[in-house]
Amino acid sequence: MDNFVVSARKYRPATFDTVVGQVHITSTLKNAIKSKHLAQAFLFCGPRGVGKTTCARILAKTINCFNLTENTEACDACDSCTSFNSGQSLNVYELDAASNNSVDDIRNLIDQVRFAPQLGKHKVYIIDEVHMLSQAAFNAFLKTLEEPPAHAIFILATTEKHKIIPTILSRCQSFDFNRIQVDDITSHLLEIAKKENITADENALHIISQKADGGLRDALSMFDQIVSFAGNNITYKAVIDNLNILDYDYYFKITDTIISENISQSLLIFNEILDNGFDGHNFINGLGEHFRNLLVSKDTVTIQLLEVSKSIKEKYNEQSQKCSVALLINLLKLSNEADYKYKTSKNQRLLVELSLIQMSSFGLMATESVAEKKNDQPKQVIEKPIVKTYTEAEQKSEVVSEPAPMLPNNVPVEEVKVPVKKFQSSTSISSSLNKPISENNTNTTIQEIKTVGNGTTPFSEIELMQVWDEFANNINKKEMPNFYASFTQHKPELKENYVIQLKIENVVQQKELTDERFNILSFLRSKLKNDSIDLVTYFPTVDDSQRKPYTNTEKYKRMQEINPNVEKLRQSLDLDF
């Protein structure tokens, strides 16, 4: 049985031109060799599996070649190249600093530096994982690295440049290796598949390239693993099954359910994902990346940032047209928030499901975007506020601000958008809730509650009372007794322009109606199919002497009017009411 050689070793680059994805480094090294401007110490740094040690070996082989090609590559025919290819070259010395990191190991290396090469011009010392050297080893290496013999060249390779002491860094030419692009890895895997007579789906190789995270060695290892699993026919399904990767289709499906506001279906898809053995954190991270890809697909300038195959890129482009930018930004925020809270959440599944429910609530924005593109008429939203300037007789009516949208029990409400509260009154919000409107307060604005599609259907006072009583019946008398009393104590009056006036007796009733005004208007507008309905409250026009005292302050003032000695008593005893 033949010995199997992994692809990472079998197809390891032997020349600068075959190095994948590091053109900026290979071209610099070739120019340095050609112009004979070689430094005596190089530092190759970058992520794992991107070609640091490979480039160091190619450099060592090339500078000792006797017959360089016109392209500044080793000839692979001279004695130096032959001995290097067979692993018997005496001019290349490799040291693994991860296991040889003591000061004695560096001293042994320094002792060998003194000897000139027997074949060729240079002796090359490659120290891999140099950041693992001890502090004493670094210090012992400093002098030799600064003033090495003319024939010695040092190449240091590391994945953690920040761990190397500055005195070493200052003595080396530093080359930063980049993560290899997905397209470059995919092209390299396609070439290897052809050489091995393997049929491979390009989408499947793209998945391997993405999973490798910029490391070609990792990609080749996964490639060998998939070949062992699927044989000579690498399919997209084989890759996602073997590498435990969520299929793109799941993300496209769940995004479609979000756009269509189908909460139930999105939860079912998430349940299917969990049943297939995938982690919820992995899912929410992938969903966030999917939304990011949709966002960059919205613009032809940024679509190049997608590191996917052409067929998947077309799917992204198609789905991105169904989503507005605002929708995608909101979805990204929600997915990022779920990712941030996932590890600290006690019920992680519920966290993801709540995020999906929240995401589905933004679907209306996407459907409106599609409707505009198809020249359909989207839902009309009444956004123009109604501004009323009261007459002298109406100035005592109270204008009520927008409360938070909390519905009474079992009260159906049509689709409602809550506007931003705006007050043009010179008084503060708190003061407007705690006292009746004065006669000189004529600059009051009523901000209309926005509802969708009710129109301005006329109605009579009898119909108003029927709906009014229906709302009263839905109020929980035990939980909201004060509100029920305030709502039913007086009969509402229908005025011009569908303004409903309601008489109140005191500021407590005013506060109760203020808190529930949003729900009252939403119910009335929905039942009477009229978006122009407005509600104002007013105190009856009576003398202060005839008004029944209600608050503690009013009661004390009434007592003081009846008997002025009450105030003297309070002052003498230093009392408070």
pLDDT digits (tens, 9 = 90+) for 491-529: 888 888 888 888 887 777 778 788 888 888 888 888 888
Instruction: Output the domain CATH number for residue 210.
Output: 1.10.8.60
Both 327 and 453 in one domain: the answer is: no
Evaluate whether residue 208 is within a structural domain. Answer: yes
3-state DSSP assignment of residue 85: helix
Evaluate whether residue 224 is within a structural domain. Answer: yes
User: Using an 8 Å Cβ cutoff, are 41 and 171 in contact?
Assistant: yes
- Residue 569 CA to residue 35 CA, distance in Å, equals 108
Both 172 and 257 in one domain: the answer is: no
The parent domain of residue 193 ranges over 182-242
- Residues in the chain, total: 577
Evaluate whether residue 574 is within a structural domain. Answer: no
Evaluate whether residue 577 is within a structural domain. Answer: no
- What values do phi and psi take at 161, rounded to 5? -65, -30
Both 148 and 25 in one domain: the answer is: yes
Q: Which residues contact 546 (CB under 8 A, 6 or more apart)?
A: none
Both 91 and 224 in one domain: the answer is: no
Evaluate whether residue 553 is within a structural domain. Answer: no
Query: How, if at all, do strands 397-398 and 233-234 pair?
Result: unpaired
Point out the least confidently predicted range of 94-108, 308-322, 452-466.
452-466
**pTM for the full predicted model:** 0.56
CB atoms inside a 10 Å sphere around CB 9: 9
Cross-strand partners of 94: 126
Both 232 and 260 in one domain: the answer is: no
Both 351 and 321 in one domain: the answer is: yes
The DSSP code for 437 is P
pLDDT digits (tens, 9 = 90+) for 540-561: 765 555 566 666 777 878 787 8
Both 205 and 256 in one domain: the answer is: no
Query: What would the mean pLDDT of 139-150 be, rounded to a whole number?
Result: 86
Q: Which residue has 């530096």 as its token pair?
A: 113
Number of structural domains found in the chain: 4
Domain end point (choices 148, 176, 204): 176
Both 230 and 271 in one domain: the answer is: no
Both 451 and 488 in one domain: the answer is: yes
Both 91 and 170 in one domain: the answer is: yes
Both 277 and 155 in one domain: the answer is: no
Domain end point (choices 176, 203, 227): 176
- Residue 229 CA to residue 208 CA, distance in Å, equals 14
- Residue 185 CA to residue 22 CA, distance in Å, equals 12
Evaluate whether residue 383 is within a structural domain. Answer: no
Evaluate whether residue 388 is within a structural domain. Answer: no
Evaluate whether residue 481 is within a structural domain. Answer: yes
pLDDT digits (tens, 9 = 90+) for 320-379: 888 888 888 889 999 999 999 998 888 989 999 999 998 887 644 444 444 555 554 444
User: Using an 8 Å Cβ cutoff, are 239 and 245 in contact?
Assistant: yes
3-state DSSP assignment of residue 88: coil
- Residue 239 CA to residue 236 CA, distance in Å, equals 5
Q: What is the mean pLDDT of the chain?
A: 78
Both 236 and 358 in one domain: the answer is: no
